[in-house]
Amino acid sequence: MTELLQQLINGLSLGAIYALIALGYTMVYGVLRFINFAHSDVFMVGAYAGYFLGPKLGAGSIGGGVLTLAGAMAVCAVLGVVIEKLAYRPLRGRSNLTVLITAIGVSLLLQNTGQKIKAVGANPRAFQFPGPDGMTRGLFPETQLHFRSLTISSNQVIVLVVAVVLLAALWWIVHRTRIGTAMRAMSFNATASSLVGINNDAVISFTFALGSALAGAGGVLYAMNYPSIDPLMGTLPGLKAFVAAVLGGIGNLPGAALGGLLIGLVETLVSGTRVSTYRDAIAFAILILILMFRPAGLLGKLRVEKV
C-alpha cells in the first residue's frame, strides 16, 4: 500500500513535468495546427539555462532557485519567439509538411549545436551548483520528508507546487486576459479572428512565448530531479509529453495537463514492475492505442474538416 502511494507521488511529480511540456505542444497546435517538433529542445535549453544561470542567481536557496527558474523561463520564451519568427513565420500558408520538416531542422540544429559548443558539450553534466563550503548542492535546498514509511523529497514538492502555480497562472492568462481570449478565438477559427481585428501574428508570438516558458520551467524541474543534463535530453520527455497532449486531446489545455499526469503515473507504475526496462516504450504503446480507439483524445472533440 505505501509502496503504491509512494509510486503515485513519484508518478505525479514526473507527470506534472510532462504536463508542463505538453501544454506547449497543445497551445501551438491550437493556434497553428502544427506540431512544433523543436519544443522538446526548448525544454533542453531550459535545463541548460538553469544550469548556467543558477550560480549567478544564487542557486541553493529558495529565492535563488525561484529566480533561476524564472530566468530559464524567460530565456526559453525569447527562444520560442525567435524560432517562430525566423523559421516558421516565413512559411505561413505553406504545406504542413514544409513546416514540419523545418521544425525537425530546428530541433536537430539545437541538439547538435549544443553538442559542439564547448560550454555545453556532448557529455552529460550534473545539475549541481558549487556551494560556499566547496560542496555541490542542488538548485533548491534539499531535504527528505518522511510520513511513516513514505519518503517525499523536497524537490518533488517543489515540482508539484511550481506546476500548480504555473497551471493556475496559465488558466488565468487564457481565460481572464485580452490576449488569452484572442488565443482562444484564434484556435477556434483563425480566419474569423483576423477578421474581427485580432492580430494573429501577435497571438502566435505570445503563444510561443508562453508555451516555451512552460517548457523551460519543465526543463529545470526535470533536471533537478534527474540531476544530469545533456543536449539530447529533450527527445524522450518531449515525445512523451507529445503523447500526453494527444492523449488529452490535442489543442485542449486541461487535456494536456491530464494527459501529462496520466503518462507520468503509468510510466512510474511500470517502472516498479518486472518490465521496467520497457518503460520508455510504454508511452508509444499508449499513443498507438489512442489513435486506434479514440483519435480525438480523452477530452478533445474530433473536428470535421470543412470541404
Ligand X SMILES: Nc1ncnc2c1ncn2[C@@H]1O[C@H](COP(=O)(O)OP(=O)(O)OP(=O)(O)O)[C@@H](O)[C@H]1O
Binding residues vs ligand X (CB under 6 A): 304, 306
- Contact status, residue 41 vs residue 283, Cβ threshold 8 Å: no
136-137 and 150-153 strand pairing: unpaired
* The binder of other proteins chosen from 13, 26, 111, 155 (CB under 8 A): 111
Entry field: residues in the chain: 307
133 versus 305: smaller Cβ distance to ligand X: 305
Per the structure block, which three cell numbers stand in for 127?
545539475
62 versus 122: smaller Cβ distance to other proteins: 122
Per the structure block, which three cell numbers stand in for 117?
559548443
Q: Alpha-carbon distance 254 to 106, whole Å?
A: 28
Nearest of 294, 289, 298, 220 to residue 253 by alpha carbon:
298
Q: Name the burial class of residue 125, with classes exposed (0-12), middle (13-18) and buried (19+) by CB atoms within 10 angstroms of its CB.
A: middle
Q: What is the DSSP letter of 58?
A: T
Looking at residues 34 to 73 of the shown chain, list those that interact with other proteins (rule: CB under 8 A).
34-35, 37
Looking at residues 219 to 258 of the shown chain, list those that interact with other proteins (rule: CB under 8 A).
235-236, 239, 242-243, 246
User: Least distance in Å: CB of 189 to ligand X?
Assistant: 9
User: Least distance in Å: CB of 111 to other proteins?
Assistant: 8
Q: Alpha-carbon distance 131 to 135, whole Å?
A: 5
**Per CB under 8 A, 298 contacts other proteins:** no
192 versus 275: smaller Cβ distance to ligand X: 192
144-147 and 228-229 strand pairing: unpaired
Select the span of 90-98, 132-140, 154-162, 203-211 touching other proteins (CB under 8 A). 90-98
Q: Which does 283 bind (CB under 5 to 8 A by kind): other proteins, ligand X, none?
A: other proteins
Q: Alpha-carbon distance 165 to 113, whole Å?
A: 33
Q: How many residues bind other proteins (CB under 8 A)?
A: 45
Which residue pairs, CB below 8 angstroms and at least 24 apart, start in 289-293?
Answer: 290/246, 290/247, 291/246
User: Least distance in Å: CB of 22 to other proteins?
Assistant: 13
64 versus 234: smaller Cβ distance to other proteins: 234
Q: Which does 228 bind (CB under 5 to 8 A by kind): other proteins, ligand X, none?
A: none
Residues at the interface with other proteins (CB under 8 A): 34-35, 37, 87, 90-91, 94, 96-102, 104-109, 111-113, 116, 235-236, 239, 242-243, 246, 277-278, 280-281, 283-285, 287-288, 291-292, 295, 304-305, 307
